[in-house]
Amino acid sequence: MGRRDRAGHAPGYSSNSIAGLAGQTGRLPIRHVDAVELARVLRVLSNPIRLQVVRLVADSPAGWACAVDVADALAFAGTALAHHFKALVDAGLPR
């Protein structure tokens, strides 16, 4: 039967888990089409360079950052960042 906690639940189970939410509402808490879109955006953001770019833009007072400034801050050549900028824009980021 496997390990159980004091309440008799398997490890990792909580009432806030997806399984718990699905059981409470009778449906999954996110539509499939939304999950696919979110997964696509998260895949783009899973790259550390892209995540740093987003953070630099988010932290800038103007809400945007010049590509040259981003390249300087990350010690990257501007041409090397072009691929990452394109991936972010294609994913609809920043929004």
Residue 14's pLDDT is 47
Contact residues for 45 (Cβ-Cβ < 8 A; gap 6+): 51, 54, 91, 93
Which of 45, 42, 15 is CA-nearest to residue 29? 15
Which of 54, 34, 35 is CA-nearest to residue 44? 54
- Tell me the residue range of the domain where 59 lies: 31-90
pLDDT digits (tens, 9 = 90+) for 51-82: 999 999 999 998 888 888 899 999 988 788 99
| Any domain includes 6 | no
Q: What's the domain count of the chain?
A: 1
| Any domain includes 70 | yes
| Any domain includes 36 | yes
pTM beyond 0.75: the answer is no
| Any domain includes 52 | yes
| Any domain includes 14 | no
| Any domain includes 5 | no
| Any domain includes 21 | no
| Any domain includes 57 | yes
